[in-house]
C-alpha cells in the first residue's frame, strides 16, 4: 500500500498565542510530503498489530465467558439457597409442631392415668398428690398449645417466603438459561472469528523477516504494542521527540527505524501529519535535578559489561543504595548494593566516565515496591527526560556555532 499526497501543501494560520508576554503566530502545514511509500514489511506489521489486538480482544472475551457463566450460576445458586432455607424452616416447624402434639398426647394420657388412680386412693394425701400431677400436666398442655399457636402464625409467613422464593427461582432460572445460551453463542462466534484472525495473522507473519518479527514480538511482550506512529516529530507511543535525522528516515519510508526510547518500530502516515512551525519565543528549559536531592537517577551509555543502563541511587539513614536497570527493558540487573554515606561518595566508581543526570523523585519505598522491574511509566519518564537532556545539549552546542557565522 502506497501512502501519497499531492505536491501542494495547505497552510493554515491559527490564532495567536501569548507566551511569556510575547505574541507568537503558529502556522500549521498539512500534507508535507509529495510521495511517501511504506515498506511492504511495515505494511504487514501494521496489519499484524491490528490483527494481534483483535486476537487479544477475542482471547480475553473467550476467557471471560466461563467466568461470566460461573457468576450467573452463582447467582442462581444464591436464589436456590434462599428457597432451601425457607423450605428447611417450614420442615423444622412441622417437625417441632408434631413433637409438641406428641407431647400433648403423652400429657393427656398421664392425666387420664392419674384420674384413674385417684379413684383407687385411700388417703387424702395420695389424692392431693395425684391432683397436683394432673394440674401440672394440664399447665404443660396449655404452654405447649400456646407454642403450637405461635408456630401456626409464623407458618403462614414461612409459606409466603417459600412461594416467593419459588417464584424468584423460576423467573431467575428462565433468565439465566437465556443468558447462558447467549454466552454459548457468543463463545462459538468468538471461536470462529479467532480462527479467522489467527489464519490471517499467520499469513501476515510470513511476510515479515525473521529478525524484524523477533524484534516486534519482543517489544509487544514488553509494551503491548510493537509499532508506533510518528506525528509532529514525536513517537506517539512514548511521546519522545525524535532527532531530525531519525524523523527524516521514518518519513522517507526506505528503511525500518526503531524508536531509541521505547524500541517500537516507527511508521509515518502523511495524511495525519501536522507540522507546527517553531514559535519565536525560546523553548522552555528542561528542569534541572536538584543536587542535594536524596534520590539520583543517571544514564550510562556504557556500564561494565551491561551496555546502556539506568542507575538509581537513594540516601536514607546515613546509608546509600544503588540499583542497576537495563536501559531498554527496565529490568533490574544484579543485586541491590548498600553502602555507608552519601551515594556520591559511597559509589565513586559509578561517576567516572560519561553519564547524564536525569529527573526522578521516586523515594526508596516506591522503588522497593517495584520489585525486579521498573514500571513502564517510570521507564518512559526517564527515557523522555534523557531525550530532553540530549536535545538541550545539542541546542547548547549549536548556538555558539550559529553565532560565529
Q: Which domains does the chain have, with CATH numbers?
A: 2-37+210-276 (no CATH), 55-203 (1.10.287.1490), 295-404 (no CATH)
Biggest CA–CA distance in the chain, Å, is 146
How far apart, in whole angstroms, are the C-alpha atoms of residue 168 and residue 71? 17
> What's the grid cell of residue 84?
432451601
Following DSSP, what letter does each residue of 40-80 receive, concatenated?
HHHHHHHHHHHHHHHHHHHHHHHHHHHHHHHHHHHHHHHHH
| pLDDT confidence bin for 28, thresholds 50/70/90 | very low
Over residues 337-385, the pLDDT tens digits come to 999 999 989 999 998 888 999 998 898 889 999 999 888 788 889 999 9
Q: How far is CA 220 from the centre of its chain?
A: 17
With helix as H, strand as E and coil as C, how does 223-275 read?
HCCCEEEEECCEECCCCCECCHHHHHHHHHCCCCEECCCCCCEEEECHHHCEE
Q: What three-state secondary structure class fits 94?
A: helix
Indicate yes or no: pTM above 0.85.
no
Helix, strand and coil content of the chain, in percent to the nearest 5, comes to 55, 20, 25
Structure confidence at residue 239 (pLDDT):
92
Alpha-carbon torsion (95, 100, 101, 102), positive or negative: positive
**Edge-to-edge strands of the sheet including 234-235?**
234-235, 227-231, 265-268, 257-258
Over residues 200-226, the pLDDT tens digits come to 999 999 999 999 999 999 999 999 899
| pLDDT confidence bin for 96, thresholds 50/70/90 | confident
Amino acid at each position: 500500500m502506497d501512502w501519497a499526497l499531492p505536491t501542494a501543501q495547505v497552510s493554515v494560520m491559527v490564532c495567536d498565542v501569548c507566551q511569556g508576554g510575547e505574541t507568537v503566530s503558529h502556522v500549521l502545514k498539512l500534507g508535507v510530503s509529495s510521495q511517501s511509500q511504506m515498506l511492504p514489511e511495515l505494511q504487514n506489521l501494521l496489519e499484524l498489530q491490528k490483527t494481534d489486538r483483535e486476537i487479544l480482544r477475542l482471547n480475553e472475551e473467550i476467557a471471560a465467558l466461563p467466568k461470566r457463566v460461573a457468576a450467573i450460576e452463582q447467582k442462581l445458586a444464591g436464589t436456590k439457597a434462599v428457597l432451601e432455607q425457607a423450605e428447611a424452616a417450614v420442615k423444622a416447624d412441622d417437625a417441632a409442631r408434631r413433637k409438641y402434639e406428641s407431647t400433648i398426647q403423652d400429657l393427656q394420657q398421664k392425666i387420664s392415668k392419674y384420674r384413674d388412680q385417684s379413684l383407687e386412693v385411700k388417703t387424702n394425701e395420695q389424692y392431693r398428690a395425684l391432683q397436683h400431677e394432673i394440674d401440672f400436666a394440664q399447665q404443660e398442655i396449655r404452654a405447649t398449645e400456646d407454642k403450637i399457636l405461635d408456630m401456626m402464625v409464623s407458618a403462614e409467613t414461612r409459606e409466603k417466603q417459600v412461594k416467593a422464593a419459588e417464584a424468584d427461582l423460576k423467573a431467575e432460572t428462565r433468565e439465566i438459561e437465556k443468558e447462558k445460551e447467549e454466552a454459548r453463542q457468543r463463545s462459538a462466534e468468538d471461536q470462529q472469528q479467532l480462527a479467522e484472525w489467527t489464519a490471517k495473522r499467520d499469513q501476515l507473519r510470513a511476510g515479515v523477516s525473521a529478525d524484524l518479527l523477533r524484534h516486534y514480538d519482543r517489544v509487544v511482550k514488553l509494551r503491548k504494542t510493537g509499532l508506533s506512529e510518528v506525528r509532529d516529530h514525536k513517537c506517539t507511543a512514548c511521546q519522545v521527540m525524535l532527532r531530525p535525522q531519525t524523523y527524516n528516515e521514518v518519513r522517507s519510508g526506505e528503511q525500518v527505524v526503531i524508536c531509541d526510547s521505547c524500541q517500537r518500530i516507527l511508521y509515518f502516515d502523511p495524511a495525519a501529519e501536522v507540522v507546527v512551525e517553531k514559535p519565536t519565543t525560546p523553548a522552555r528549559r528542561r528542569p534541572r535535578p536538584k543536587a542535594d536531592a536524596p534520590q539520583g537517577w543517571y544514564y550510562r551509555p556504557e556500564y561494565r559489561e551491561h551496555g546502556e543502563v539506568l542507575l538509581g541511587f537513594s540516601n536514607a539513614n546515613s546509608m546509600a543504595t544503588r540499583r542497576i536497570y537495563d536501559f531498554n527493558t527496565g529490568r533490574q540487573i544484579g543485586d541491590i548494593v548498600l553502602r555507608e554515606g552519601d551515594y556520591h561518595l559511597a559509589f565513586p566508581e559509578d561517576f567516572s566516565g560519561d553519564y547524564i543526570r536525569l529527573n526522578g523523585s521516586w523515594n526508596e519505598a516506591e522503588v522497593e515496591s517495584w520489585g525486579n522491574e521498573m514500571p513502564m511509566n517510570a521507564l518512559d519518564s526517564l527515557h523522555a527526560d534523557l531525550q530532553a537532556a540530549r536535545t538541550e545539549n545539542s541546542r547548547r552546542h549549536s548556538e555558539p556555532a550559529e553565532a560565529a557565522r
